[in-house]
Amino acid sequence: MNHLWTASDFSDAVEPISQPGEIGNVDGVSIDSRSIGKGDAFFAIKGDRFDGHAFAYSALEAGAAVVVLEEAQKSDFSNLSERVVFVDDVLKALERLGRAARKRTKGKIIAVTGSVGKTSTKDALRKALEPSGKVHAAVASFNNHWGVPLTLARMHADSDFGIFEVGMNHSGEIRTLIDMVRPDIAIVTTVVAAHIGNFNSIDEIAVAKAEIFEGVVSGGSALVNGDNEFGDYLAKQAASCGIENIHRFGSDAEFDAKLLKADLRADGSDLSISLFGEQYRVHLAAPGAHLAQNSLAVLAVVHLAGANVPAAIAVLASHGATKGRGERHELSIGKGTALLIDESYNANPSSVSAALETLGLGSGKGSGRRIAVLGDMLELGSDAAALHMSLKEMLVDAGLDKVYLCGPMMHHLWECLPKDMQAGYGERSQDLIAPLKEDLQEGDMVMVKGSLGSRMGVIVASLLESYKN
């Protein structure tokens, strides 16, 4: 059996201050004791709400090969004589293991950042590269200070491709993370007003996103959205980091990956694209102009990584949207069905606009209606009220029939929304569940979207529990 980490390699990587006895070979890495299986390593990280040290014994009882604890708490675990290492700082030890994983791999490493589209691009890349080799990528949106090193630490040495999502809420975060990832290819999907409450301007967001280029290895490539207003700036920043291979995707005839023609429908898209001089026809199972553009980035990466482009195109034809990011569900309503579009994972003005545009492409069955259920967009700073009110034009342009809103910021939109579109308002997401269920009819298309902190997922869960086929 090929272990993820041999006991000796694991110990060398985490650099223990002390190790009382033997540890086992490691087949998995976790920071959550509830997910520990036999042969896993448990890192007892101190979080905002929990200290992982409180769950060390639970991890050992579940069969952990080793628990990683802080030397400062060694006296609390004096009875442990094996399957434990004590380190200076558990998170730093996880980072060292991640760096060791990056150092030992010979595969192509890809890093993705952007104000929107990171996770959907990462997920599409995973599928697109699978026909060409062994792919490693996080199963969820693990893009922060613990998610990135954890994803690195879980990467097998023989991976042909590693895909890493890199996020940020503040300046300097990407710089720290990308120094661990050290990608061969770095992508910036787009730069828009997301998390702008932590910045003075969108220009500062662009500067922070450009930090991704600082980690690109020698001979590596940068890929930027040429249609975005910061495309030129990002390309210049990539060049200033010594990157010679700088490519753009978008609509301009001069771009390396360009969209020639697009037939956008509610059930998917058919595209004609040019990719480094070669023309292809691409069918996407997931709908939306934003996903059509992201597919250009995905296929450009497949090309730059030396993988099989036609095979990747074939995979994208059946790759749908993921949970919380446009996943579609058929609901049993009356004697027919309604369509639920789950966009509940996150929201900012750009992603809401894209979701509404996609909803506007569809039409309900028969007399079915198009209904938007929106929660607050968070971390927008002093412009939050104005940005929420700006959604009015998007809702009207999309030709929606009904709109449900919740949250204090969405109340600003509620007050200026046309009366004939107002379906219901609540202070919390739970307040919309009962009126929405009472109103729902067969043939309707319902899209639920909001920032994660708005808890729009509870609406999706309730609808699925009541009406899922």
* 371-388 pLDDT tens trace: 999 999 988 888 889 999
Identify the band that residue 196 occupies on the pLDDT scale cut at 50, 70 and 90.
Answer: low
Predicted pLDDT at 285: 85
Cβ proximity of 391 and 409 under 8 Å? no
Predicted pLDDT at 414: 96
Task: Say yes or no to pLDDT of 331 above 80.
Answer: yes
The residues, ordered by sequence, that sit 6+ positions from 274 with a Cβ below 8 Å of its Cβ are 257, 258, 260, 280
Reported as a single tens digit per residue, the pLDDT across 57-81 is: 999 999 999 999 999 999 999 999 9
Q: Which long-range contacts (CB under 8 A, 24 or more apart) does 131-134 make?
A: 131/307, 131/308, 131/311, 131/312, 131/314, 131/315, 132/160, 132/161, 132/302, 132/305, 132/307, 132/308, 132/311, 132/312, 133/107, 133/160, 133/161, 133/307, 134/107, 134/158, 134/159, 134/160, 134/161
Reported as a single tens digit per residue, the pLDDT across 219-257 is: 999 999 999 999 999 999 999 999 999 999 999 999 999
Q: Could you give the domains of the chain?
A: 7-90 (3.40.1390.10), 105-316 (3.40.1190.10), 327-467 (3.90.190.20)
CA neighbor of 127 nearest in space, from 347, 284, 281: 284
Tell me the helices (H) and strands (E) count for the chain, helix number first: 16, 19
Binding residues for ATP: 114-120
Task: Say yes or no to pLDDT of 468 above 80.
Answer: no
Binding residues: 114-120
Predicted pLDDT at 367: 58
DSSP track, 26-43:
BSEEES-GGG--TTEEEE
Q: What is the mean predicted confidence (pLDDT) over 300-323?
A: 91
Predicted pLDDT at 314: 95
CA gap 319, 298 in Å, rounded:
12
DSSP track, 361-430:
H---STT--EEEEEEPPPS-GGGHHHHHHTHHHHHHHTT-SEEEEESTTHHHHHHHS-GGGEEEEESSGG
